[in-house]
């Protein structure tokens, strides 16, 4: 159960003035109250705020949910820091702590801060902090970077991406270069992923992507991750769109599956995500991936034992249509937003109907 200090800190962010209050004020009255109630309830009971606030947010309000979750974590950390600073006779600072794995920022794990420093973690982060005692000469666990250096090259490449991994192996970049801190006058400091173009320069990255693509073409097609890196370097998609999509994928656990109306579950791997967000209509609104799967109204047989699922929903007062290609292993191979004309074309061309939603 949340401590009084934590509860007081977080409730303060909901009062007039703080930026979270401004954001909630932009929501419809009923939704804003449900989100606020859910945030306070989850804080007091120690529950996941996403579940308690989800009823107040439509898929287009992911940003509000992200900020609310981040603010709750900030409240817990703020209360901890107050305790550390109140015991400066035995505590000299604090240490950032994150699980060692591909879903966390290993660069910030093990970073030592002074008592006068505030956290600069990522939005939607999965990090915490612990005190550093004055008599403590060294950390009691390996840092994220130390853990990373012990991993096989295949794991390192998967976590960094092929271009960044190659640059790191050549000594052109350090792991710490992959993260930078940005300041917002309303929200303060936060860490973000530093794109390779920002480190090495866009021209160099484009040249290397071109060379890598030629190798891939000669030996097979480029991977979904490499394709995303290329379109970002070419200026066709902002890195922030990729970061947002990855955050949503991680927070909503799409890798575990999204349940369709017929009861079947479709897993969305990280590679599937990269395939889907190539479409600008998806990378601008990555939550549409889940929305489409949850609003499938008909499934038909397709080539190679695949299935084609047709979806329809209302978003911002307009009807949206999408088609998803599902593999025999029930993963998402592709997702495209379509119009009525293309829907009719698919309907005429595709195979037998496997399932249709009852009227």
77 found inside a domain: yes
Read off the pTM.
0.51
- Mark whether 205 and 249 lie in a shared domain: no
CA neighbours closer than 13 Å in the CB half-sphere of residue 24? 27
Boundary of a domain, candidates 28, 62, 86: 86
Residue 82 domain-assigned?
yes
Token readout for 37 is 């109630």
Residue 208 CA to residue 144 CA, distance in Å, equals 28
Q: Which residues pair with 323 in a beta bridge?
A: 310, 336
Distance CA 39, CA 65 (A): 10
| DSSP for 337-355, written as a single string | EE-HHHHHHHHHHS--EEE
Asked if residue 287 is part of any domain, the answer here is yes
At 35, phi and psi to the nearest 5?
-65, -45
Q: Are residues 188 and 255 in the same domain?
A: no
Q: For the segment 283-316, what is each residue's pLDDT rounded down to a tens digit?
A: 999 999 999 999 999 999 887 788 999 999 999 8
pLDDT tens digits for range 108-163: 888 889 999 887 776 667 788 899 998 887 777 888 888 988 888 888 887 887 77
The residue segments making up the domain with residue 262 are 239-356
Same domain flag for 245 and 213: no
Could you give the CA distance from residue 48 to residue 252 in angstroms, rounded to a whole number? Answer: 12
The larger pLDDT score, comparing residue 73 to residue 174, is at 174
Question: Within a domain: residue 184?
Answer: yes
Number of structural domains the chain divides into: 3
Tell me the two tokens of residue 221: 């097609």
């Amino acid at each position: 159960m949340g401590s009084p200090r934590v509860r007081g800190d977080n409730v303060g962010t909901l009062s007039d003035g703080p930026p979270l209050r401004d954001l909630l004020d932009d929501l419809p009255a009923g939704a804003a109250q449900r989100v606020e109630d859910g945030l306070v309830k989850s804080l007091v009971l120690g529950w996941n705020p996403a579940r308690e606030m989800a009823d107040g947010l439509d898929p287009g309000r992911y940003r509000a949910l992200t900020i609310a979750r981040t603010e709750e974590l900030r409240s817990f950390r703020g209360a901890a820091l107050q305790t550390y600073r109140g015991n400066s006779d035995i505590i000299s600072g604090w240490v950032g702590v994150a699980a060692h794995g591909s879903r966390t920022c290993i660069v910030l794990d093990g970073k030592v801060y002074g008592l006068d420093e505030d956290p600069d973690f990522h939005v939607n982060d999965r990090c915490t902090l612990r005190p550093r005692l004055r008599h403590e000469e060294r950390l009691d666990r390996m840092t994220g970077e130390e853990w990373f250096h012990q991993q096989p090259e295949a794991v390192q490449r998967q976590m960094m991406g092929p271009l960044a991994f190659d640059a790191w192996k050549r000594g052109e970049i350090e792991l710490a270069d992959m993260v930078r801190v940005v300041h917002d006058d309303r929200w303060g400091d936060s860490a973000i992923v530093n794109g390779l173009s920002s480190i090495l320069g866009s021209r160099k990255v484009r040249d290397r992507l071109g060379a890598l693509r030629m190798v891939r073409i000669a030996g097979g097609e480029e991977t979904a991750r490499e394709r995303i890196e290329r379109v970002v370097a070419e200026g066709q998609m902002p890195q922030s769109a990729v970061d947002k999509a990855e955050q949503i994928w991680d927070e909503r656990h799409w890798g575990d599956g999204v349940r369709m109306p017929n009861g079947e579950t479709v897993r969305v791997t990280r590679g599937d995500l990269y395939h889907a967000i190539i479409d600008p209509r998806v990378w601008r609104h990555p939550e549409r991936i889940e929305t489409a799967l949850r609003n499938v109204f008909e499934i038909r047989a397709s080539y190679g034992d695949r299935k084609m699922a047709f979806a329809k929903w209302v978003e911002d007062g307009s009807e949206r249509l999408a088609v998803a290609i599902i593999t025999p292993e029930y993963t998402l191979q592709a997702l495209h937003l379509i119009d009525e004309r293309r829907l009719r074309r698919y309907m005429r061309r595709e195979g037998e109907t496997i399932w249709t939603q009852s009227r």
